[in-house]
A and B are shown apart, each in its own frame.
Chain A
Amino acid sequence: MSELKGETPFTNPGLPPHRPRRADEDPKAARRAEFQAVGLLVVSILGTVGAVLAYLFLPLSGSNGDIRRMTALMGAGIFLGMIGIGMGAIHWAKTLMRDHEMVEERHPIRSSDDTREEAVQMLKDGVEDSGVGVGRRGLLKGTMLTALAIAPLSVAIPMIGNLGGDWNVGQIKHTMWRKGMRLTRDPEGTPIKAADVTIGSVFHVIPEGLAETPDPLEEKAKAVVLLIRLDPRDLNVVPGREDWSFDGIVAYSKICTHVGCPVALYEQQTHHLLCPCHQSTFDVANGCKVIFGPAKRPLPQLPITVDSEGYIVAQRDFDEPVGPSFWERLK
């Protein structure tokens, strides 16, 4: 190993002298160490027995106290059972087993030149025996490699291809909101009258009939809405959306435009919506535009109105896909 760079010019002084432990010299100390190890192992035995007893005899009726007691006492038993063996063995090793260090030579990891040559020769012999030496039987080699390379596709394509379900990725651009569909309370599904929505209040909303859809969780993941009433004097309506709100009541998608967490925290005084996952902050008074955090786009607004019975309903689906940005979102 002469190629070691920058080796020190000093000479290695060799191993420091071995210092015997007390148990090496004093039989009494050795005896004491033995007893200590035995004591630790006895602790282990008691712990294991305790854990099994706790498992067998502690009541478990579903009450919090029972669960806590069971977990703590069984755990304490297993803890003692394990740590007793561990510390007993380590104590034994540290006090009574050999502690005088030994030296072993290392050999280079690389095989010797002879071995390498032999190995290469064996491979050459193998190639020779296969009848396809360098530059020979190219067609056979080529077809073999091609067949091997494409064979996995017959399994991989169906396996990977099936995983995506129906692959109808366009679905994520739309929600189940339709013209005249009532906004209902999450999770009860009861409709909301405009008169119920007092200034400063916020409703977590799901579409009417959500529970009856074939895939309620998938629909809910896109369609959840926050319904908030502001004092109309505080509300700066986005140009072109004058008829999207009703008397200071606005509805915005609850799905964050950052990575899709529900934007669930509403600050009544400042009219800010905060996403608890990554703290994107949206200003409800100004079209839910982003005023802080990692999101960029405002929350999509759901155009609402009031039906003949006074319930709040949607005018149509959102005008844009809800949730995080993705490549073909605008197409």
Chain B
Amino acid sequence: MSKVTRAANSTASFVDDRTSIGGFVKFFSRKLFPDHWSFLLGEVALYSFIVLLITGVFMTGYFIPSAEQTVYDGSFATMQGVEMSQAFQSTLHLSFDVRGGLLIRQIHHWSALMFTAAIMMHMLRVFFTGAFRKPRDINWLVGFGLLTLSLAAGFSGYSLPDDVLSGNGLRILDGVVKSIPVLGTRISYWMFGGEFPGDALIPRLYTLHVLLVPAAILGLVGLHLFLVFLHKHTQYPGGGRTHKNVVGLPLFPVYVAKAGGFFFVVFGVLTLLGALMTINPIWNYGPYDPSPVSAGAQPDWYMLFLEGALRLTPGFLDFSIGGWDVPMNVLLPGVLLPGIIFTLQAIYPFVEAWATGDRGERHVLDRPRNVPVRTSIGAALIAFYAVLMLAGSNDILATTFHMSINTLTNTFRVLIFVLPIAAFWVTKRVCFGLQRKDRELALHGHETGRIVRTESGEYIEVHQPLSEQELWLAVGHDNLTPIEIEPKTNERGVKRPGYRWDRFRQALSRFYYEDRVEPVTPAELAAAADEHH
């Protein structure tokens, strides 16, 4: 035994004697993980979050969360003598007078954008492949919590420097909050510690941003990963992969190297973004002042959908009842719409499972084409979200492409209804087309382009049958059909309770599985094989 081995042995023994860590090592070290590029999206989110923590700690050394007014006398010439809050002043100090400060600030901001983007991409992957099905529906909820918290983390951090842009963002938030019936002004007072803008909000946001929200995110990340280990990772369909096994490579050493290495890649890329691309140059915007505003202002990308919704909703929805204002033109896009979207998103796995009538554990992922309605719902949501995002940039689009902002906005007002429906329909058709293609391939094999003349003078194209593995991919998926329900009355003609509810469930199930392309059956395959020989 070498010296090193001996030292390692005695250290391990020391720790295990006191912690029984051996059991954990046994459980974790050789856990198998399947390989696929799309499984990296969640990792990007996690690693961006770690970069956020590291760079965030750096900045807490310099940032002063205070709205107290002061006069700038730092090294940035154009701001000399300007009155500003300490929050803004300390952000300038961090950017211009602390070595590497601007770099770290920009890495932090880019990481925040990457964090939210990666979470959403990860969520889309989970959605389209059906990875949210039992038993992972519970982890979908954890992930949903993380998405919500990431938006809170982003918005609270964005607002801290107290510049004109973020100040107007807060003012919009204030307007949205005030639109809430009965309690609006009180919630606004509660948030701002009195009248807008007040001097309470920045220290409060700071506590949220550096303590409460990150602590909650950390907790949920821990739970999320714990459940990933407990459930073992999902896998894409393929030969040898079933709902009862997991095919992959061991955590140690393969994923320690790959996933650990990937952390450094993400860190590196975020650093490159921060080093080369200016982001949120608050020194160009100036400190917050309730009077000025810059044209072409855009929030961080993850807030664009809300901004777009605010821009699209027409003003006539602002009405009053009995002298009480109900500003539905703000309430609808600012409060109700996100509330509804987020709720639907959270409960989706349970709705689909209910419509499917499926109680088993699913560990092999779906190919999106094989669940056409789910895939189409996803496409419709993406279309809806995309229109909102574009609407949030309607001024930029109008000036860039020399279009009338009014025409553009009105066009989006139509598209917000039309495009999701069109996307749903087109996606459903594309899924069916792909499923038919799979059928075709399974039954008749690949076209070879080789034309043969038979003895009788007939020309035929020789088809090459699919390999075992290819065939499995085309025919091995689950075949889901609409649920059957008990009849309305029993054999004695008595109406049974719960029938209406079952009817509703059946209707939903039909919506999902009625239009369908039947997968190939073994009999069909045998018949096709006979025909070819």
Contact = CB atoms under 8 A, between A and B. Distances in A.
Given A97-B257, A293-B315, A86 B478 contact: no
A172 B261 contact: no
A97 B253 contact: yes
Nearest to B483: A5
Given A86-B261, A279-B395, A3 B253 contact: no
Contact of A93 (B100, B253, B314): B253
Interface string A182-226: 000011000000000000000010100000000101101100100
A169 B198 CA distance: 13
B314 A261 contact: no
Nearest to A221: B290
B324 A327 contact: yes
B245 A261 contact: no
Interface string A158-200: 0010011111110110000000000000110000000000000
Interface stretch (A70-78, A115-123, A227-235, A304-312): A70-78
A109 B230 contact: yes
Interface residues of B, number: 134
B185 A74 contact: no
A260 B175 contact: yes
Given A264-B292, A279-B395, A324 B242 contact: no
Interface residues of A, number: 102
Contacts of A221: 171, 195-197, 290
A105 interface: yes
A43 to B, nearest CB: 11
B184 A165 contact: no
Given A276-B297, A326-B327, A16 B178 contact: no
B244 A102 contact: no
A98 B74 contact: no
Given A218-B196, A259-B175, A74 B295 contact: no
Interface string A18-42: 0000000000000000000000000
B297 A277 contact: yes
A101 B310 contact: no
A316 interface: no
Contacts of B360: 1, 3-5
Interface string B177-207: 0111111111001111111111010001000
A99 interface: yes
Given A90-B258, A331-B323, A294 B480 contact: no
B277 to A, nearest CB: 10
A103 B409 CA distance: 55
B16 to A, nearest CB: 24
B244 A62 contact: no
Contacts of B438: none
B112 to A, nearest CB: 17
Given A62-B74, A75-B274, A93-B254, A294 B313 contact: yes
A206 to B, nearest CB: 7
A89 to B, nearest CB: 3
B185 A328 contact: yes
A72 B243 contact: no
A80 B77 CA distance: 33
B446 to A, nearest CB: 17
Contacts of B250: 98, 102
Nearest to B103: A71
A21 B406 CA distance: 60
A142 interface: no
Given A220-B291, A259-B330, A262-B292, A165 B200 contact: yes
B249 A92 contact: no
Shortest 7 CB-CB contacts between residues of A and residues of B: A75-B275, A62-B75, A259-B175, A89-B261, A165-B194, A86-B264, A83-B268
22 contacts: A1-B244, A5-B358, A9-B521, A9-B522, A12-B476, A13-B240, A62-B96, A76-B272, A79-B268, A81-B268, A97-B254, A98-B254, A102-B249, A160-B190, A218-B194, A261-B168, A261-B293, A262-B292, A264-B293, A276-B296, A326-B185, A327-B326
